[in-house]
């Protein structure tokens, strides 16, 4: 990796803190990813991306800004990438997956709060995230209580915080609200970028994002095989990189990886032996670099074959309708697409458990591990009925609630092992 | 074939050897600060053909004892089912954690819940409270049984409950009434855990805390269901591990004696 | 309570929990054939419900006793109010829920939202989609539409009806009620206050589901007695007692332990800035607008609950109350696991300190007695700094 010190310094990063973060990240990556056996060659691209996560990619963002393009950072899959691309902007998902500078975070938000939110504040107050510092707009959204109120605190800390309001019910008025919010967001993007959103621009945006989605859906399909040709950890990494890599390059790399995986499937080659217990994960998203629970699962003798999560199939399963038309029609198509996402902040949220059941069958899973972040009320309360519903149909479920710390790794491992013992007995 | 089960708990290490399904040896010792040494001493000189480890320390021993491991949940389920076939719900209150296990019709582990985030309501809690009231553990249980009325304990946290106990006795509350209050607090916390996953059915109650007569009585009263306590409640995990070892041994043809280095 | 001072409400329920009085009145309404709608929150449009001849009944529960039952289904790490309410329902021990023919909820906080999903099948239930950004243009229009939808639900469920004129009349009636309640609140604003939190809470709890007409004589009587106390030079506590304003989450039942601790520590509560206290009575609905439902929507969206964002009104209201009630300290009571009030507390504390120079304390608590001493220590330290 080149010397990016000047670039980081120009962005206003705390160099010492940033170095500390990078070295922890590097160490974790080595222990978790590079120690895996029989990884597909195609993962080398993603290893490279991760090794340059604060380097080359940031340079690309800075170059884009120098060309007059805007960088738009966001925290949630409800923020339409298509619209950002339509103003020739760069869309980056802001990481919030590490327990870093929680002391700094806890000075402004309560301690008893979702670690994802605290991580976002930890990074901001510690000045260690170049994506955050490079963002021309930071987009927040009124999803869960924690985020909704935390953005009020984040606002004064960033250059330009823009909040998208979201509906709480999947009703006609909810759909109308979402569309109106997206329309306002378009205006904001136009104002900030100085570019007008045209039908042509939107068409291209939709095409680009759909291509990305098709690629990861293709990857998901290939995990149906037994033995699984790729580990859950690696697939998760691909789903995480989805949020901030250059879309076209990402799509090509995922397709190349899929080509290789297809060969593996033909030959019956996998990363774990055939018959390894297959687990489906469901619940809260795992933001990079949160790899804790998948690591425990895949070092306890199981393979993760799918994720019903926003960093996973819930976020990528739908394509935006590409029938074309004018800007108005495409906005409608975009609204329609995003409105389908079944995050637990919606009430009621019946399609989610159906989706989990469907994935369980499609990926030939043996059990579902429901993952919630500590203090996440929507997912934790919803996990009760979800578990009861799935168990009622004979699907074994383990509910986990955890944060980013390593404190409870032993306890998590015990529960995972016991669960795997249970599903293997079937 | 002699099958050994080693349960390395946070407070005690248990070792059971079975032959043809019958227990021929059962030992326990304090884990102390050196689980490896405690385990080594416990199994020293004992003959066994295959051994399985379970408990909190099972992974700690990985480099020194290369044997199959199972979770303490599975071990308890196996042990409980073998000792008392009709049981469908298991409650294990140990030294530092509490587990509730629900078995399906075939006796396999279905759901489980653990409370190991803190030691409130466990054996450790009992020890500290007994000490705060100047009782031995046996005296503590007897005092609680003898009390007519319980002093309500509000804190669940071991540390804060200790302060609460001291302030109660300072205000003149009777020690046995406080003792009963402590026992009741543990019971309501543990049964709450059990009720979440096994709202009905016969309960198999084991773990070190099941040695406490007062707890046993209160559990039965609270649940209003048949409660069965085995003769050696602390050894159920090791027994279950030994049963699993027997199965493993039979599958692999026995005689893969492992040495604790 | 001093023997020389007559209680503001002097009936057979005086001295007991305020729920008993309210329950008795509800039972009478049931006997008279009225339909009852359970409500959870200050956003439920009382005026509409009353105009349709339906009696609202508050279901929010403040008892620690039912929480254990709730925790067999809901996570332990959840607001005690939600757990208590749910616990009452699944143990079938809530008389208000038992009497309710229908239940009205709102998408306020995540916890409530997801809990409602567990009870919608038990009784006819209607969840109103509450806007989260009240300052936006569309918010009033959207909330007005939701109120109309509620109206249609109540029509369909009960065959009840209300013309816009009836709603207008209810608006005037409730405005009258609120005006009288605000007259009552003038008294704790005095120094020394002639009334304690318990009597105020008795009135706020009774009034929240009552019409102006029902409250008229009770409030007139209470006001007469309050004036008398003031004229007689009565002081609920000595004039130099540190005055405390409590704000934050709704407080009642077992949560009143905090109020008791404040008084035991030598303070006197002069303002209850919560939905269980003053909040429902502080704003009036515009009368004679020709669009009573829209007027209601506008009024209700002014309630500064922390589920709203950015909720600047919480601070402007707080300033108004501080200037009126002149507290010496502010205590923000946040129920455990309530993210909205907990996160907002930070800016409340800063505001109270920076603009009013007052000592501020946030207390995060539940309905159990396990933290009583810890709360006491903090409150005592706060009052020492007054």
Choice among A285-299, B96-110, C282-296 with the minimum mean pLDDT: B96-110
The per-residue pLDDT of chain B, averaged, comes to 90
pLDDT at residue A192 greater than cutoff 60? yes
A407 touches chain B (CB under 8 A): no
Best mutation target, B53, B71, B76, to test chain A (most A CBs within 10 A): B71
> Where along chain A do its domains lie?
5-39+51-199
Q: Using a pLDDT cut of 90, give the percent of chain C over it.
A: 95
The answer to whether residues B74 and B240 touch, using CB atoms and an 8 Å cutoff, is: yes
**DSSP for residue A279:** E
Residues in C closer than 8 angstroms to A161, CB to CB, are none
pLDDT tier at A1 (50, 70, 90 boundaries)? low
User: Which residues 231-270 in chain C show a CB within 8 A of chain B?
Assistant: none
Per-residue 3-state assignment (H helix, E strand, C coil) for chain B: CEEEEEEECCCEEEEEEEECCEEEEEEEEECCCCHHHHHHHHHCCCCCCEEEEECCCCCCCCCCCCCCECCHHHHHHHHHHHHCCCCCEEEEECCCCEEEEEECCCCCEEEEEEECCCCCCCHHHHHHHHHHCCCCHHHHHHHHHHCCCCCCCCCCCHHHHHHHHHHHHHCCCCHHHHHHHHHHHHHHHHHHHHHHHCCCCCEEEECHHHHCHHHHHHHHHHHCCCEECCCCHHHHHHHHHHHHHHHHHHHHCCCCCCCCC
Best mutation target, C43, C71, C75, to test chain A (most A CBs within 10 A): C75
Query: Cis (ω within 30 of 0) for the bond into C192?
Result: yes
User: Which is it for strands A367-373 and A397-402: parallel, antiparallel or unpaired?
Assistant: parallel
The answer to whether residues A42 and A260 touch, using CB atoms and an 8 Å cutoff, is: yes
For residue A38, the distance in angstroms to the closest alpha carbon of chain B comes to 24
Q: What is the mean pLDDT of residues B15-20?
A: 95
CA nearest neighbour of B215 among B155, B150, B153, B141: B141
Residues in B closer than 8 angstroms to C72, CB to CB, are 192, 195-196, 199
Give the pLDDT confidence score for residue B257 in this predicted structure.
55
Which residues have C-beta within 8 Å of that of residue A221, sequence separation ≥ 6?
none
Q: Using a pLDDT cut of 90, give the percent of chain B over it.
A: 64
Strands (E) across chain C are located at: 35-39, 54-58, 102-106, 125-128, 243-248, 268-273, 329-335, 360-365
Residue A317, helix vs strand vs coil: coil
The answer to whether residues B27 and B14 touch, using CB atoms and an 8 Å cutoff, is: yes
C109 touches chain A (CB under 8 A): yes
* Inter-chain CB proximity B196 and C72 less than 8 Å: yes
Q: Using a pLDDT cut of 90, give the percent of chain A over it.
A: 97
pLDDT at residue C1 greater than cutoff 50? no
Q: What is the CATH number of domain B2-77+235-252?
A: 3.30.420.40
Q: Which residue has the tokens 């504390």?
A: C349
- In chain C, which residue's Cα lies nearest the Cα of A146? C339
Choice among A252-261, C70-79, C167-176 with the minimum mean pLDDT: C70-79
pLDDT at residue B261 greater than cutoff 60? no
**Choices 2.40.128.20, 3.30.870.10, 3.40.50.11890, 3.40.1780.10: CATH for A5-39+51-199:** 3.40.50.11890
Structure tokens at B220: 């039965």
Q: Which class is domain C18-164? A: alpha beta
Q: Using a pLDDT cut of 70, give the percent of chain B over it.
A: 97
Choice among A16-20, A207-211, A320-324 with the minimum mean pLDDT: A320-324
pLDDT at residue B20 greater than cutoff 60? yes
Residues in B closer than 8 angstroms to A391, CB to CB, are 111
For the entire predicted model, the pTM comes to 0.93
A169 touches chain C (CB under 8 A): yes
pLDDT at residue B110 greater than cutoff 70? yes
- Report the alpha-carbon distance of residue A317 to residue B11 in Å, rounded: 49
Q: What is the mean pLDDT of residues C4-24?
A: 92
The answer to whether residues C259 and C246 touch, using CB atoms and an 8 Å cutoff, is: yes
pLDDT at residue B229 greater than cutoff 90? yes
Give the pLDDT confidence score for residue B117 in this predicted structure.
75
pLDDT at residue C227 greater than cutoff 90? yes
* Inter-chain CB proximity A146 and C343 less than 8 Å: yes
pLDDT at residue B208 greater than cutoff 80? yes
- Report the alpha-carbon distance of residue C143 to residue B217 in Å, rounded: 56
Choice among A162-166, A221-225, B101-105, B204-208 with the minimum mean pLDDT: B101-105
CA nearest neighbour of A185 among A140, A222, A229: A140
In the sheet with B22-30, reading across from the earlier edge strand, the strands are: B22-30, B12-19, B2-8, B50-54
C71 touches chain B (CB under 8 A): yes
- In chain A, which residue's Cα lies nearest the Cα of B58? A414
Which residues have C-beta within 8 Å of that of residue A252, sequence separation ≥ 6?
none
Q: What is the CATH number of domain B86-229?
A: 3.30.420.40
Q: Give partners of A (≥3 CB pairs < 8 A).
A: B, C
- Report the alpha-carbon distance of residue C211 to residue C120 in Å, rounded: 27
- Report the alpha-carbon distance of residue C108 to residue A176 in Å, rounded: 20
Give the pLDDT confidence score for residue B252 in this predicted structure.
77
- Report the alpha-carbon distance of residue A186 to residue A164 in Å, rounded: 11
Q: Which residue has the tokens 């027997």?
A: B246
For residue B196, the distance in angstroms to the closest alpha carbon of chain C comes to 5
> Where along chain C do its domains lie?
18-164
* Inter-chain CB proximity A169 and C107 less than 8 Å: yes
A151 touches chain C (CB under 8 A): yes
Which residues have C-beta within 8 Å of that of residue A381, sequence separation ≥ 6?
A344, C74, C75, C78, C110, C111, C114, C115
Q: What is the mean pLDDT of residues B103-113?
A: 88
- Report the alpha-carbon distance of residue C232 to residue A52 in Å, rounded: 79
pLDDT at residue B200 greater than cutoff 90? no
A384 touches chain B (CB under 8 A): no
Give the pLDDT confidence score for residue B154 in this predicted structure.
83
* Inter-chain CB proximity A421 and B73 less than 8 Å: yes
Between A426 and A196, name the one with better pLDDT.
A196
Q: Give residue-wise pLDDT tens across range A370-422.
A: 999 999 999 999 999 999 999 999 999 999 999 999 989 999 999 999 999 99
Residue A153, helix vs strand vs coil: helix
Sign of the CA dihedral running C203, C204, C205, C209: positive
B62 touches chain A (CB under 8 A): no
Sign of the CA dihedral running A386, A392, A398, A401: positive
- Report the alpha-carbon distance of residue A239 to residue A248 in Å, rounded: 15
Between C316 and B64, name the one with better pLDDT.
C316
- Report the alpha-carbon distance of residue C173 to residue C48 in Å, rounded: 12
The answer to whether residues C335 and C79 touch, using CB atoms and an 8 Å cutoff, is: yes
- In chain A, which residue's Cα lies nearest the Cα of B113? A415
Residues in C closer than 8 angstroms to B160, CB to CB, are 370
CA nearest neighbour of B69 among B80, B81, B60, B79: B60
Across the interface, of A391, A408, A414, the residue whose CB is closest to B71 is A414
pLDDT at residue B251 greater than cutoff 90? no
Give the pLDDT confidence score for residue B105 in this predicted structure.
84
CA torsion A391-A397-A402-A408 (nearest 10°) is 130
* Inter-chain CB proximity C345 and A377 less than 8 Å: no
Structure tokens at B69: 């491991």
The per-residue pLDDT of chain C, averaged, comes to 95
pLDDT tier at B119 (50, 70, 90 boundaries)? confident
- In chain A, which residue's Cα lies nearest the Cα of C346? A108
Between A81 and B22, name the one with better pLDDT.
A81
pLDDT at residue B78 greater than cutoff 80? yes
Q: What is the mean pLDDT of residues C177-194?
A: 97
């Amino acid at each position: 990796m080149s010397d990016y010190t000047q670039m980081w310094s120009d962005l206003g990063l705390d160099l010492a803190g940033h170095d500390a973060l990078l070295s922890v990240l590097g160490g974790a990556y080595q222990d978790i990813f590079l120690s895996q056996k029989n990884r597909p060659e195609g993962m080398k691209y993603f290893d490279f991306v991760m090794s340059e996560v604060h380097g080359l990619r940031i340079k690309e963002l800075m170059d884009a800004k120098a060309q007059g393009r805007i960088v738009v950072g966001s925290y949630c899959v409800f923020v339409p990438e298509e619209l950002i691309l339509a103003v020739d902007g760069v869309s980056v998902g802001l990481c919030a997956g590490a327990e870093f500078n929680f002391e700094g975070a806890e000075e402004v938000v309560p301690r008893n709060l979702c670690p994802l939110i605290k991580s976002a504040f930890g990074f901001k107050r510690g000045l260690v995230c170049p994506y955050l510092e490079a963002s021309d707009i930071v987009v927040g959204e009124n999803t869960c209580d924690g985020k909704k109120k935390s953005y009020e605190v984040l606002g004064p800390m960033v250059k330009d915080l823009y909040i998208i309001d979201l509906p709480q019910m999947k009703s006609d008025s909810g759909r109308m609200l979402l569309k109106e919010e997206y329309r306002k967001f378009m205006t904001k993007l136009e104002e900030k970028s100085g570019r007008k959103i045209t039908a042509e621009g939107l068409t291209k945006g939709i095409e680009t994002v759909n291509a990305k989605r098709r690629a990861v859906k293709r990857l998901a399909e290939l995990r149906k095989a037994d033995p699984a040709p790729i580990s859950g950890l690696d697939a998760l990494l691909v789903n995480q990189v989805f949020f901030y890599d250059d879309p076209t390059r990402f799509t090509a790399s995922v397709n190349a990886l899929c080509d290789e995986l297809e060969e593996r499937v033909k030959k019956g080659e996998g990363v774990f032996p055939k018959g390894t217990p297959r687990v489906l994960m469901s619940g809260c998203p795992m933001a990079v670099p949160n790899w804790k629970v998948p690591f425990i699962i895949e070092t306890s003798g199981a393979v993760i074959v799918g994720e019903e999560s926003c960093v996973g199939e819930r976020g990528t399963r739908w394509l935006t309708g590409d029938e074309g038309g004018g800007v108005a029609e495409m906005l409608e198509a975009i609204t329609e697409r995003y409105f389908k996402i079944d995050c637990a902040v919606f009430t009621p949220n019946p399609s989610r458990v159906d989706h989990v059941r469907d994935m369980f069958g499609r990926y030939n899973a043996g059990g579902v591990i429901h993952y919630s972040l500590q203090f996440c009320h929507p997912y934790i309360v919803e996990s009760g009925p979800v578990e009861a519903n799935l168990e009622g149909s004979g699907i074994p479920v383990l509910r986990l609630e955890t944060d980013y710390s390593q404190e409870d790794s032993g306890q998590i491992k015990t529960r995972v092992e016991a669960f795997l013992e249970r599903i293997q007995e079937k | 074939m002699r099958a050994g089960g080693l349960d390395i708990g946070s407070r005690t290490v248990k070792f059971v050897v079975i032959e043809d399904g019958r227990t021929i040896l059962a030992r326990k010792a304090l884990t102390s600060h050196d689980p490896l040494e405690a385990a080594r001493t416990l199994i020293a000189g004992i003959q066994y053909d295959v051994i399985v480890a379970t408990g909190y320390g099972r992974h700690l021993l990985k480099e020194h004892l290369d044997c199959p491991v199972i979770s303490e949940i599975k071990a308890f389920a196996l042990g409980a089912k073998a000792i008392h076939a009709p049981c469908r719900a298991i409650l294990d209150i140990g030294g530092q954690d509490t587990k509730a296990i629900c078995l399906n019709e075939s006796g396999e582990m279905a759901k489980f819940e653990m409370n190991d985030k803190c030691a409130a309501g466990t054996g450790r809690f009992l020890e500290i409270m007994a000490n705060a009231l100047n009782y031995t553990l046996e005296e503590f249980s007897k005092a609680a049984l003898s009390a007519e009325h319980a002093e309500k304990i509000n804190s669940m946290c071991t540390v804060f409950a200790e302060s609460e106990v001291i302030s109660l006795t300072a205000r003149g509350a009777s020690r046995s009434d406080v003792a009963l209050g402590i026992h009741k607090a543990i019971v309501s916390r543990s049964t709450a855990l059990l009720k979440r996953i096994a709202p009905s059915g016969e309960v198999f109650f084991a773990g070190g805390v099941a040695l406490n007569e007062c707890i046993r009585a209160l559990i039965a009263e609270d649940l209003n269901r048949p409660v069965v306590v085995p003769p050696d409640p602390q050894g159920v995990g090791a027994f279950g591990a030994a049963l699993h070892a027997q199965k493993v041994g039979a599958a692999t043809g026995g005689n893969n004696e492992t040495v604790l280095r | 309570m001093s023997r020389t001072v007559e209680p503001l409400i002097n009936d057979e329920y005086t001295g007991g929990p305020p729920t008993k009085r309210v329950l008795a009145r509800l039972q009478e309404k049931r006997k008279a054939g009225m339909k009852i709608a359970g409500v959870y929150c200050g956003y439920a449009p009382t005026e509409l419900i009353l105009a349709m001849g339906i009696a609202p009944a508050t279901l929010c529960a403040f008892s620690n006793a039912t929480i254990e039952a709730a925790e067999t289904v809901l996570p332990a790490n959840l607001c005690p109010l939600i757990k208590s309410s749910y616990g009452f329902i699944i143990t079938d021990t809530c008389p208000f829920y038992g009497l309710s023919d229908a239940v009205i909820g709102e998408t306020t906080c995540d916890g409530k939202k997801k809990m409602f999903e567990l009870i919608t099948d038990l009784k006819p239930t209607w969840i109103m989609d509450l806007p989260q950004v009240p300052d936006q243009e569309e918010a009033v229009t959207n909330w007005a539409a939701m109120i109309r939808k509620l109206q249609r639900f109540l029509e369909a469920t009960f065959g009840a009806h209300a013309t816009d004129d009836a709603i207008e009349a209810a608006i005037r009636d409730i405005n009258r009620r609120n005006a009288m309640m605000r007259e009552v609140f003038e008294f704790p604003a005095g120094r020394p206050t002639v009334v304690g939190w318990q009597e105020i809470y008795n009135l706020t709890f009774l009034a929240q589901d009552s019409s102006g007409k029902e409250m008229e004589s009770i409030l007139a009587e209470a006001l007469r007695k309050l004036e008398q106390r003031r004229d007689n030079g009565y002081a609920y506590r000595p004039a130099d007692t540190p005055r405390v304003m409590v704000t934050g989450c709704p407080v009642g039942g077992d949560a009143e332990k905090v109020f008791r601790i404040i008084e035991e520590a030598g303070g006197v509560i002069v303002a209850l800035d919560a939905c269980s206290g003053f909040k429902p009575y502080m704003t009036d609905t515009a009368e004679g607008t020709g669009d009573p439902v829209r007027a209601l929507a506008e009024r209700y969206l002014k309630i500064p609950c922390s589920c709203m964002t950015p909720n600047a009104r919480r601070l402007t209201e707080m300033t108004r109350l501080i200037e009126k009630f002149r507290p010496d300290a502010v205590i923000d009571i946040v129920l455990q696991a309530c993210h909205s009030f907990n996160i907002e507390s930070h800016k409340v504390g800063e505001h109270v300190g920076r603009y009013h120079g007052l000592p501020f304390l946030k207390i995060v608590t539940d309905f159990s007695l396990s933290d009583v001493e810890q709360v006491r220590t903090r409150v005592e330290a706060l009052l020492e700094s007054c």
